[in-house]
Amino acid sequence: MKMSRFGCMKDQDGAYCFSKANLYSHERHSTMQKAPILSIPLILSAFAAVLIVLSFALTGWNDVTVPAVGEGSAEERFTCVVIDAGHGGEDGGAISANGLYEKDVNLAVAFALRDLLEMNGISVVMTRDEDVLLYDRNVDYRGRKKVLDLAARKTVADNCENCLFVSIHMNAFPQTQYSGTQVWYGTQNPLSESIAADIQKNALLLQPNNHRKIKAAGSSIYLLDNIRTPCVLVECGFLSNPEEAARLSDENYQQALAFMIFSSLSSYLG
């Protein structure tokens, strides 16, 4: 397994920056207890209203449409979501001009998404829930942190039955004009593309000028290429864009991103 498989890849739309050195051991993940099952349509409607208000407040968008929430017809229903907050610890991931680390935004969005899912009775497994690289200190990890990290994240997904896998990342590119959410999907499970498309579509609620298309992950994206369960990676936005970095640092916008992802997943969950 060559280290180059875990580096950054770029295309004409921007850059996809994956784990540089993020590690953790799967024993650190926490399996969340199920919350009492509430009225999902009611909660979704409430959060949709909140999101619309946030959309106005954050983007000034004046042509809001309500995202499709909880109305999907996916035949296969999943009872658990693995949320993978990219990077962590000594691996900060991308960084904004004013020092905002991707690892921190990833975790904030991951926590918000976790809370929404648990509120609706969906089990959640976090690959990491603190700012640390969770690799096994009992093995010789020198020069192998990236490999161990990604293997550990894959193990979490493999050990979770009936799960969807959602990885949260932030983007970066040398030119600062690029912005917007972009979703990647694994090709092993056909549902991955459908989920990615739903997230990309609903991202328009927050980013009406986002014309990005979903992209199939190749071998350069280890997790999506190797996880069998439906899996997507959400690049929520570009930390290299000062305006978008400012939004990404805002807790309300992080919550809105989490709701956008949650609403996109809802039709696949039961």
3-state secondary structure of 261: helix
**CA Rg value for the chain:** 17
- Does 186 help bind Zn ion (rule: CB under 5 A)? no
Interhelix angle 40-59/251-265, nearest 10 degrees: 140
- Does 92 help bind Zn ion (rule: CB under 5 A)? no
Q: Which of 17/231 has CB closer to Zn ion?
A: 17
User: Which segments of 132-241 does DSSP mark as H helices, in order?
Assistant: 145-158, 191-202, 222-226
Nearest distance, CB of residue 101 and Zn ion, angstroms: 10
Which of 93, 180, 186, 230 is the binder for Zn ion (CB under 5 A)? Answer: 93
Which of 14, 67, 86, 230 is the binder for Zn ion (CB under 5 A)? Answer: 86
d(CA 134, CA 26): 7
Q: Which of 8/40 has CB closer to Zn ion?
A: 8
Nearest distance, CB of residue 140 and Zn ion, angstroms: 26
Nearest distance, CB of residue 217 and Zn ion, angstroms: 13
The pair phi, psi for residue 85, each rounded to 5°, is -80, 115
Q: Which two tokens stand for residue 158?
A: 């493999």
CB of 171 closer than 8 Å to CB of 207: no
Instruction: Using the rule CB under 5 A, give the single segment among 114-122, 139-147, 166-174, 193-201 that binds Zn ion.
Output: 166-174
Applying CB under 5 A, the residues found at the interface with Zn ion are: 17, 86, 93, 169
